Amino acid sequence: MNDTLTASLSHRPFGIDDPYKKLPDERSPRDPAPGDRVTVNFRATTEKASVTLTSRGRREHLSATSLGDGLFTTDLGVVTPGEYTYTIEAGGASQSFSFTVGAWREVRSVEDVRVEATLVHLTLGLDDGSTLPCILSFPASGVCAVGFGKAAGTGLELRAHRADGRLAVRADGALLELDCSTLDVTVSRPGGTAVARGSLKFRVLVGSDLARLEARFHAGDELYGLGERFTPQNRRGKLYDVRVYEEYKEQGDRTYLPAPFVVSPDAWGVWLAEAEPSFFDLRRDEAVVTVEKLPSSPLSMSLHFIVADEPYGVTSAFVELNGGLSVPPKWAFGPWMSSNDWNNQARTLEVVRRTVQEDIPATVLVLEAWSDESTFYIFNDAAYTPKPGSDAFALSDFTFGERWPDPKGMIAECHSHGVHVLLWQIPVQKHVPEDHPQHHADEAHMSARGLGVRDADGTPYRCKGWWFTDGLVVDFTNPEAREWWFAKRAYLFDDLGIDGMKTDGGEHLWGRDLRTFDGRRGQELFNAYANDYVGAYHDFVSSKTRGNGLTFSRAGFTGAGKYPAHWAGDENSTWSALKASVQAGVSAGISGVSMWTWDIGGFSGDIPSVELYLRSVAFGALCPIMQYHSEFNAAKDNRDRTPWNIAERHGDPRALSVYRFYAKLRMSLLDYVDAEAREMSAVGLPLMRSPELVYPRARAFLHDDPHAYLFGRDLLVCPVVEKGALAREVRLPPGRWTDVWSGAEFEGERVVLVPAPLERIPVFVRTDSERASVLVEIFRGARG
């Protein structure tokens, strides 16, 4: 039993499966392993309670300690492999629960080797005398996949040689060498220096309620990646989990966009090709990768060792293995504007017209507060006759009210100014307790047809966390669900002519017994659902716009770069958030997400100072996507991040004039950004790159500037992230570099102190670039 609630007793062993937030009436740990000390917390409406523990035929009566407020705790002690049952007794009520502690099994030997044209089959001996199949393959140049307990598709042709207890396997771009006595593995780049070191000393926790599989590799001194992370780039020294999760602001090591993938500056990397939540323990020289699986899932684990000629070659190979990078339409690279306070047509058009009046370029408007927030496909305040839940609406079905009297005319006016319109979406049928006939009809149809994610008993799953609590979650693996869901939104494109959708959320699947139409269960869905959701919307938008639209998403997983674009979620208007966002953008790029951005000046809280705002604007103007956005504000003061509002609130016209300057600069760079996006995406490279990985031989020198990055192949961008700074030290990579503002040239691998007035961000261009003179002309021309 996973959840029980009676009149007098409540104990939920797994809580709600939130990976970070524990409930006061759950078990800890939720899934005990050998050597863990287990405690049981519960709630009871009595003054005294007890627990009876049964294991190996022994019964032990344990007292429960009152924690106050009806909460109790009991220590079950340190557990070893075996079956455990504990019965909670309180006030005449009793409930029994059980868990199984598995046993670790470790690979000790290579029992057999069989070589085929594209695969090597190994039979590995475990310490309990059983065996485990392992397959070596080379799915792409420079990539070796080591698959435990699972079949592998054919890859590149290989040549194998065995002698003196060693196995050497060659394929295009990679050489694998296995010492059959020590189980040590190396994967190297023939003729190169990149060498990844691992081991076949694979471990598996078998017989437990949640299986765990472990693999090992040598970590080296520095590792980068693991998705969009808001912390310093080098991941060594910490334990990271890889789990799609919404942490509202101050994310730290938690992320909406994880990837089980690390890159070494020595031009090798490791990718865990599994969707379930995993852990990368990088605290020691021997890194440990752990993935958790349900016993009903195959006990399998595929680890890819990637070697290349340079570090971003590893990223490129990872990207190509996972579907490549897609590029949005050129208009997406212009300045964007958004605010959750733009919740009616008058306010929206006021902002659009003011933008035009102020001579500020803009190419995208994002509207979040447009819908009734019950159906999320009908404009707020529209009148209509409800339809059966199976049916879709057309524009002619609505009579629009005061808030949005003429959406079609509004969108047409935006288009007349070159502004494309995106509307906000979520993958949830929100729970609406009040009377709402259309919502209830849709919800009833969704439930009756099984179009949502389901619980183990087949009933519809409802969101358990704080985000849209009790809402139904659409199952995008179900073709009928996709067709039904998008049919209701088709008129927004067909009749109104919108250009894309902001696909928010995707992080709130909790519960290991969840099920989707394609047969997957909770552990397999926690990370993968974000891509299922965004990918379905991407296909829908692309079909409706004939490839001239895009999605704008917060959550994603391995392969998210196929669905541009992404933003870094919700952040405060603080200097620390600015610094964290720079790091997040670079880390996202290392991990295969290129079309990335953040909310200029911060999303949340009071408006930023003029200084913070303009430093953010300069950084945003040289990000893959440039956009400002702010949360809904119930207070009377206007907290929009529009440049004129910042200027008026602070009485400082520079907020407006400098924003205008950078918006125009961005438009002047539109051809450069679009061309770089297409050319770099074609080879799996992100627009934002870490200088120390692009120039690994100088990484010790470049490492001391964690907030510089390369934008495209030619520009070195050095955001000013310190309050009150008037100048900035720039660490120039190897080669020769030209200051785009002054035209001065410098030899690389030196520190240059450059002026950084409020209206200027230090930027340098590679002097030997074919576009150096054009880029210098753009920047210097923008200054007038």
- Same domain assignment for residues 572 and 646: yes
By mean pLDDT, which of 40-49, 402-411, 666-675 is the weakest?
40-49
Mean pLDDT of the chain: 95
The Cα–Cα gap between 189 and 455 comes to: 47
> Token pair of 476, please?
């995008």
What pLDDT does residue 535 have? 98
Average pLDDT over residues 29-53: 96
CA geometry: angle at 500 spanning 495 and 501, to 5°?
Answer: 110
Residues noted as catalytic: 504, 507, 570
* 770 assigned to some structural domain: yes
From residue 714, alpha-carbon distances to 532, 592, 731, 742 in Å are: 35, 20, 15, 17
CATH number at 57 reads 2.60.40.10
- Same domain assignment for residues 629 and 499: yes
Average pLDDT over residues 231-254: 94
- Same domain assignment for residues 615 and 704: no
Torsion of CA 52, 54, 58, 63, to 10 degrees: -20
Domain span including residue 748: 690-783
The Cα–Cα gap between 470 and 428 comes to: 10
Looking at the chain, the whole-number percentage of residues with pLDDT higher than 70 is 98
Q: Which residues, 6 or more positions from 37, have their beta carbon under 8 angstroms from its beta carbon?
A: 75, 76, 77, 78, 79
CATH number at 761 reads 2.60.40.1180
Other beta carbons within 10 angstroms of residue 284's beta carbon come to 11
**Is the predicted pLDDT of residue 151 greater than 90, yes or no?**
no
For residue 392, with 0-12 CB atoms within 10 Å meaning exposed, 13-18 middle and 19 or more buried, which class applies?
middle
> Token pair of 35, please?
């050597």
Q: How many separate domains does the chain show? A: 4
What pLDDT does residue 762 have? 98
The Cα–Cα gap between 272 and 261 comes to: 6
**Is the predicted pLDDT of residue 367 greater than 80, yes or no?**
yes
User: Where is the domain boundary, 101, 117, 144?
Assistant: 101
Strand, helix or coil at 265? coil
* 756 assigned to some structural domain: yes
- Same domain assignment for residues 470 and 584: yes
Beta pairing partners, 113: 122
**Is the predicted pLDDT of residue 153 greater than 80, yes or no?**
no
What pLDDT does residue 465 have? 83
Residue-wise burial string across 89-103, b where 16 or more C-beta atoms lie within 10 A, e elsewhere: bbeebbbebebbbbb
* 681 assigned to some structural domain: no
User: Where is the domain boundary, 674, 707, 727?
Assistant: 674
- Same domain assignment for residues 11 and 63: yes
The Cα–Cα gap between 452 and 462 comes to: 9
pTM of the predicted model as reported, rounded to 2 decimal places? 0.96
Average pLDDT over residues 382-397: 98
- Same domain assignment for residues 43 and 136: no
CATH number at 133 reads 2.60.40.1760
* 52 assigned to some structural domain: yes
Average pLDDT over residues 305-334: 98
Query: What are the backbone dihedrals phi and psi of residue 193, each rounded to the nearest 5 degrees, phi first?
Result: -110, -10
- Same domain assignment for residues 86 and 203: no
Q: Are 737 and 767 in contact (CB under 8 A)?
A: yes
- Same domain assignment for residues 274 and 394: no
Residue closest to 120 by CA, chosen among 165, 164, 163, 171: 171
What pLDDT does residue 633 have? 83
What pLDDT does residue 784 have? 67
- Same domain assignment for residues 419 and 312: no
- Same domain assignment for residues 493 and 428: yes
Q: pLDDT-derived band of residue 7, with 50, 70 and 90 as boundaries?
A: very low
- Same domain assignment for residues 163 and 262: yes
- Same domain assignment for residues 338 and 304: no
CATH number at 577 reads 3.20.20.80
User: Where is the domain boundary, 293, 321, 349?
Assistant: 321
Can you list the positions of beta strands (E) in 500-623? 500-503, 550-553, 566-567, 596-597
The label of the residue with tokens 């397959």 reads: 135
Torsion of CA 499, 500, 502, 506, to 10 degrees: 170
* 682 assigned to some structural domain: no
By mean pLDDT, which of 34-48, 294-308, 373-387 is the weakest?
294-308
Q: pLDDT-derived band of residue 6, with 50, 70 and 90 as boundaries?
A: very low
Q: Which residues, 6 or more positions from 150, have their beta carbon under 8 angstroms from its beta carbon?
A: 135, 298, 300, 301, 302
pLDDT tens, position by position, 186-235:
999 998 899 999 999 999 999 998 999 999 999 999 999 999 999 999 99
pLDDT tens, position by position, 624-665:
999 999 998 877 789 999 999 999 999 999 999 999 999 999
* 258 assigned to some structural domain: yes
* 685 assigned to some structural domain: no
pLDDT tens, position by position, 468-477:
999 999 999 9
Other beta carbons within 10 angstroms of residue 248's beta carbon come to 12
Of all helices (H) and strands (E), which one includes residue 409? helix 407-416
> Token pair of 15, please?
């809580």
